[in-house]
């Protein structure tokens, strides 16, 4: 007999208000709710509830709520309830625990202990509603273009031509209306309608979304100028037209939620158009290896960077995405020297469609620290302008976004936030592929729950709201261009940090003058 | 004139439109007070299964069979909306038999009811800044969770 695990959540139904319309039972893909004819009552099986709030949201009389069960073990500060239950699950199954979305553990947040500056008396603040406020950015190499051959030896090319004239040719750039992009989520991990929403919203907003590693569905080539196409270790769905379709090509070396390990789309999800788009046999497991099997050094990475530059006629910037790990600054320095135009760093709170729980919760480092040390290292080595820095991994609000820019990011990636705008309620059950919101599923009746017209509008609203907030904060600081905020760590002050933490972030203590 | 139509690509088969319709036509307000323990008589009905479903309601035909068949002269077209005068209806059900879409529903009292685009439901009035009524938004359209039911000005005749 299996060890019994008491349900984590309980469905509470207000019987006075429930009219037995059965919307809850029709909408729950986990089959929690059911109608009992004999008693003319709705029933709920708490053990199946993942707390996604689909029923709560749709209930027309608001008769439902989900509560965390107060069922308890003997209280133990060392053995938490979650730890005990997870141990039981593993004793039952013998398997690795799987989880989805970002790290939910109570690790300290550095964003929350950073505060922003504003102008008072001695320097004028700016009203963004009355004066122009520039949020446009260009991502890519800002220094002279190196030769296209991978075997060129000049890491930093001369800024002058042999005849003494200045080189004016620019490397290819991504133009963004604001320093924000939707980060990589593959078609397969999320649904067709979720991709459609992201693609349309990115196009309306003048920013980019990212295909993830699953290839680009043929319907979405029309959004190419606002698409970043990804090349990951599985090399799914990659062909010449795909590489040429986007505004940039991203090489995925790692992911913040699961640094050091690959991906696994089960065969039963790799069907129909997902398999077609991935160019894999239908029904076969789509396995992304942990490493790229042709990349074991920066020199190998350089070969892939230059292969992709050649394949795209040197018209697309190349992004290299890594997870934030202990040696991130040295790795980023290597990537900058590999010829990549943009480095994307994914912090340990970044989301995922499925990852081993222990890896998601324990591997990697906070994005704030990774960003600060990479930016500092690249500056120290005089190669900061050779690359743009894009960071992601739980940018939860415009405040996090603004703080990341002030710490040195050229742009931020958001994905969890974007999915929440599409309806995600962070139930962290993506790996079950039964997403009641039509996002992380391929079941046709669930996928159609996400109408891209609504999804697109919500994404556009969210990003516009953040852009307004960015402008307000910049105006308060007396800054009228986001370029002037980037790396401007004097706009940040620390509260509740140790000296070492402040040193690592390159910020001063609150109260300390410039 | 305005017509309600359903985009079956986005209809989830949740049947919520039926409840919002029934509630709006009972005067609106708290749904549980109106509908608790009662069989609903919605003027919109969801057909289909979990994979393909769509809601059906009056098409407001230009030449309605129900109007032609009504023996009591209770059905008329008022500003494009096919309407039933429940004071005149004698409950003969001829309109029920003639409607090709099955969109006429007997009420508890035996007289007929049908979708009238919520133009008689004060709770569904759209108001301007001064509080003047500028139109009506049908309850099914307003409350569809996936924007599957839309009301649009259309030239298409049924």
Q: In the prediction, which pLDDT does A164 show?
A: 85
Integer-rounded Cα Rg, in Å, for chain A is 24
Could you tell me if residue B101 is inside a domain? no
Could you tell me if residue B99 is inside a domain? no
**Cβ of A453 and B50 within 8 Å?**
no
Q: Cα(A469)–Cα(A417) distance, rounded to whole angstroms?
A: 16
Q: In the prediction, which pLDDT does A355 show?
A: 93
Select from B12, B15, B18, B141 the residue whose CB has the most chain A CBs within 10 Å, as the one to mutate to test that interface.
B12
For chain B, the domain total comes to 1
Look up residue A78 and give its two tokens: 């060392």
Tens of pLDDT, residues A232-242: 999 999 999 99
**Cβ of B16 and A22 within 8 Å?**
no
Q: Cα(A450)–Cα(A439) distance, rounded to whole angstroms?
A: 7
Angle at CA A163, nearest 5°, toward A158 and A168? 55
Contacts of B150 in chain A (CB under 8 A): none
Look up residue B37 and give its two tokens: 């323990």
- Which run of H or E residues covers position A321? strand A318-323
Contacts of A342 (CB under 8 A, 6+ apart): A139, A140, A174, A248, A317, A318, A319, A320, A387, A388, A389, A390, A410
A451 → closest Cβ in B10, B15, B23: B10
Per-residue pLDDT band for A421 (boundaries 50, 70, 90) equals: very high
Q: Cα(A212)–Cα(A190) distance, rounded to whole angstroms?
A: 10
Could you tell me if A192 and A180 are in contact, meaning their C-beta atoms sit under 8 angstroms apart? no
Angle at CA A241, nearest 5°, toward A235 and A246? 85
B14 touches chain A (CB under 8 A): yes
Tens of pLDDT, residues A22-52: 999 999 999 999 999 999 999 999 999 999 9
Q: In the prediction, which pLDDT does B158 show?
A: 44
Per-residue pLDDT band for B152 (boundaries 50, 70, 90) equals: confident
Burial tier of A198 (Cβ tally within 10 Å: 0-12, 13-18, 19+)? buried
Q: In the prediction, which pLDDT does A219 show?
A: 97
Give the minimum alpha-carbon distance from B153 to chain A in angstroms, rounded to a whole number.
19
Per-residue pLDDT band for B154 (boundaries 50, 70, 90) equals: low
Task: Give the percent of chain A with pLDDT over 90.
Answer: 91
Give the minimum alpha-carbon distance from A60 to chain B in angstroms, rounded to a whole number.
7
Closest chain A CA to residue B146:
A451
Q: In the prediction, which pLDDT does A156 show?
A: 56
Domains, chain A, ordered by start: 9-95 (3.30.70.20), 137-145+176-509 (3.20.20.70)
- Structural domain that includes position B2: 1-57+136-158
Supply the DSSP symbol for A450.
S
Average pLDDT, chain A: 94
Q: Cα(A60)–Cα(B33) distance, rounded to whole angstroms?
A: 12
Q: In the prediction, which pLDDT does A170 show?
A: 86
Predicted confidence (pLDDT) at residue B156 exceeds the cutoff of 60: no
Per-residue pLDDT band for A161 (boundaries 50, 70, 90) equals: confident
Q: In the prediction, which pLDDT does B155 show?
A: 60
Give ipTM to 2 decimals. 0.91
CA neighbours within 13 Å on the CB side: how many for A308?
31
**Cβ of B146 and A17 within 8 Å?**
no
**Cβ of B10 and A18 within 8 Å?**
no
Tens of pLDDT, residues A285-302: 899 999 999 999 999 999
Cα torsion through A346, A350, A353, A356, rounded to 10: 90
Tens of pLDDT, residues B23-36: 999 999 999 999 99
Q: Cα(A6)–Cα(A336) distance, rounded to whole angstroms?
A: 51
Tens of pLDDT, residues A321-346: 999 999 999 999 999 999 999 999 99
Could you tell me if A298 and A221 are in contact, meaning their C-beta atoms sit under 8 angstroms apart? no
pTM of the model: 0.94
Select from A60, A444, A454, A458 the residue whose CB has the most chain B CBs within 10 Å, as the one to mutate to test that interface.
A60
Could you tell me if residue B120 is inside a domain? no
- Give the other-Cβ count within 10 Å of B5's Cβ: 18
Q: In the prediction, which pLDDT does A269 show?
A: 80
CATH code of the domain containing B156: 3.30.70
**Cβ of B147 and A16 within 8 Å?**
no
**Cβ of B50 and A451 within 8 Å?**
no
Give the minimum alpha-carbon distance from B44 to chain A in angstroms, rounded to a whole number.
15
Question: First vs last Cα of chain A: how many Å apart?
Answer: 66
Tens of pLDDT, residues A44-94: 999 999 999 999 999 999 999 999 999 999 999 999 999 999 999 999 999
- Give the other-Cβ count within 10 Å of A437's Cβ: 24
């Amino acid at each position: 007999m299996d060890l019994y695990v008491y349900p984590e959540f309980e469905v509470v139904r207000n019987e006075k208000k429930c009219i037995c319309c059965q919307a809850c039972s029709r909408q729950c893909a986990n089959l929690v709710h059911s109608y009992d004819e004999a008693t003319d009552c709705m029933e709920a099986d708490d053990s199946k509830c993942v707390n996604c709030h689909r029923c709560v949201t749709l209930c027309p009389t608001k008769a439902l709520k989900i509560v965390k069960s107060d069922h308890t073990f003997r209280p133990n500060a060392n053995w938490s309830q979650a730890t005990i239950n997870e141990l039981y699950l593993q004793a039952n199954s013998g398997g690795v625990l799987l989880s989805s979305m970002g790290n939910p553990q109570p690790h300290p947040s550095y964003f929350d202990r950073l505060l922003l500056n504003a102008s008072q008396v001695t320097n004028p603040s700016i009203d963004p509603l009355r004066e122009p406020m520039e949020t446009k950015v260009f991502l890519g190499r800002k220094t002279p273009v190196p030769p296209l051959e991978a075997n060129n030896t000049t890491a930093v090319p001369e800024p002058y031509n042999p005849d003494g004239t200045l080189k004016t040719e620019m490397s290819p750039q991504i133009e963004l209306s604001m320093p924000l992009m939707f980060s990589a989520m593959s078609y397969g991990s999320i649904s067709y309608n979720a991709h459609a929403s992201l693609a349309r919203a990115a196009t309306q907003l003048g920013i980019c979304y990212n295909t993830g590693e699953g290839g680009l569905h043929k319907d979405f080539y029309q959004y190419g100028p606002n698409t970043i196409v990804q090349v990951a270790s599985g090399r799914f769905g990659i062909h010449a037209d795909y590489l040429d379709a986007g505004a940039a090509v991203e090489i995925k070396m790692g992911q913040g939620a699961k640094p050091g390990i690959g991906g696994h789309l089960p065969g039963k999800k790799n069907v129909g158009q997902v398999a077609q788009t991935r160019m894999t046999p239908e029904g076969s497991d789509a396995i992304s290896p942990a490493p790229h099997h042709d990349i074991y050094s920066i020199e190998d990475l350089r070969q892939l960077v230059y292969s992709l530059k050649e394949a795209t006629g040197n018209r697309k910037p190349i992004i290299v995405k890594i997870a934030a790990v202990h040696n991130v600054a040295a790795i980023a320095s290597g990537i900058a020297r590999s010829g990549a135009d943009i480095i994307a760093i994914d912090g340990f709170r970044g989301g995922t469609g499925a990852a081993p729980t222990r890896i998601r919760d324990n591997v990697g480092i906070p994005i704030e620290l990774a960003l600060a040390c990479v930016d500092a290292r690249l500056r120290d080595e005089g190669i900061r302008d050779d690359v743009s820095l894009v960071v992601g991994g739980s940018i939860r609000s415009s405040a996090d976004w603004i703080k990341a820019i002030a710490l040195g990011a050229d742009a931020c990636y958001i994905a969890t936030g974007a999915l929440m705008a599409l309806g995600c309620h962070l139930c962290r059950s993506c790996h079950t592929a039964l997403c009641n919101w039509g996002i992380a599923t391929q079941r046709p009746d669930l996928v159609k729950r996400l109408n891209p017209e609504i999804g697109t509008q919500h994404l556009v609203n969210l990003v516009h709201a953040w852009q307004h907030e960015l402008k307000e904060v910049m105006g308060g600081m007396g800054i009228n261009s986001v370029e002037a905020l980037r790396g401007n760590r004097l706009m940040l002050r620390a509260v509740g940090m140790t000296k070492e933490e402040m040193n690592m972030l390159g910020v001063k203590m609150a109260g300390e003058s410039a | 004139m305005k017509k309600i139509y359903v985009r079956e690509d986005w209809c989830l088969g949740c049947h919520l439109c039926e409840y919002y319709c029934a509630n709006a036509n009972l005067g609106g307000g708290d749904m549980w007070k109106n509908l608790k323990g009662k069989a609903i008589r919605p003027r919109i009905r969801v057909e289909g299964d979990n994979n393909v479903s769509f809601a059906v309601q009056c098409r407001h035909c230009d030449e309605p069979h129900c109007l032609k068949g009504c023996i009591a002269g209770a059905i008329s077209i008022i500003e494009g909306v096919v309407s039933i005068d429940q004071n005149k209806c004698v409950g003969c059900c001829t309109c029920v038999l003639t409607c090709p879409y099955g969109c006429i529903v007997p009420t508890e009292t035996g007289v007929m009811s049908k979708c009238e685009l919520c133009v008689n439901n004060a709770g569904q009035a759209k108001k301007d800044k001064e509080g003047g009524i500028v139109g009506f938004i049908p309850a099914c359209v307003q409350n569809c969770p996936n924007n599957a039911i839309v009301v649009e000005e259309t030239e298409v005749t049924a």
